[in-house]
Structure 1
């Protein structure tokens, strides 16, 4: 791959995909899918150009993965939400690499609106939701469009597991 930044981004997307597949029990101890046809497998879709569908699909989320020195989280979140709509997914989040840390320490950012929608889908209070998934909130000025919540990829994996369990409950 000629572009080193593209290579870094692809490596980060693959690391996120592989980590989530392992944490969600979608792969065996060798990293092979237990069921290659399972819609819940975490995948890196083909790029779609102008109608981009995100970097990683982790039902019910589209992940916009970024490996940058200076993150612009509100911009990444807007991009993630547009790409989630393109892909037909209900939620878009941004996953930013925490420099020099393990993949599970990657930062998962979610808009306050999406945070509320997910919390209500799980039927949880704000405090219980924040505590269970270790969310912290960043309030940036008076513009609520720039507010977001953050957890680590480890907490996000638990959130995805709980969302999927609720969806599959009788």
Structure 2
């Protein structure tokens, strides 16, 4: 790949996909998908042009994966929500790579509305959700559109497993 930024982004998307497939028990001992036709497999999405459908599909989530130094989380979350809509998924979140850290330590950012909808689907209180999945709220100014909640990829995998079991 001639573009180093694109290569880094692709590597991050693949690392997130591989980690989640393993954490969710979707691969065998050799790292191969147990059922290649399962809709529950975590997959990198094909580029769709103007109607982008996100980077990684982890039903019921579309993941917008970012491997950049400077975070722009509110902007990324808006992008993730649009791409989830295009893909026909109910939830869009951002997975941001932490420098010099393993994939399970990456940051998963939820917009407040998405977090609330997931919390209600799990039938958990705000406090139960924060404690169980180690969410940390980020409040930026008075505009609630810039607020979000963050956890790590490892706890996100547990949330996905719990949400899939609840649906």
TM-score (norm 1): 0.98
Aligned twin of 1:99: 99
Equivalenced residue count is 167
- Determine the C-alpha separation between the residues in 2 that align with 1:30 and 1:7: 25
Q: Would you identify which runs of 4 or more consecutive aligned residues in structure 1 move more than 6 Å?
A: none
Aligned twin of 1:22: 22
Q: Secondary structure, in 3 states, of the residue corresponding to 2:84?
A: helix
- Determine the C-alpha separation between the residues in 2 that align with 1:44 and 1:22: 15
- Determine the C-alpha separation between the residues in 1 that align with 2:159 and 2:147: 20
Aligned twin of 1:114: 114
Deviations 1:97-150, CA, capped at 9 Å, x for gaps: 011000000000000110000000111000000100000000000000000000
Deviations 1:44-97, CA, capped at 9 Å, x for gaps: 011001000000000000000000000100011000000000000000000000
Note the residue ranges of structure 2 that are not aligned, 5 or more in a row: none
Aligned twin of 1:90: 90
Aligned twin of 1:125: 125
Aligned twin of 1:78: 78
Aligned twin of 2:157: 157
Note the residue ranges of structure 1 that are not aligned, 5 or more in a row: none
**1:29 deviation in Å?**
1.7
Matches within 5 A, 1:42-81: 42-81=42-81
Q: Secondary structure, in 3 states, of the residue corresponding to 2:44?
A: coil
**1:22 deviation in Å?**
0.1
- Determine the C-alpha separation between the residues in 2 that align with 1:73 and 1:45: 21
TM-score (norm 2): 0.99
**1:30 deviation in Å?**
1.4
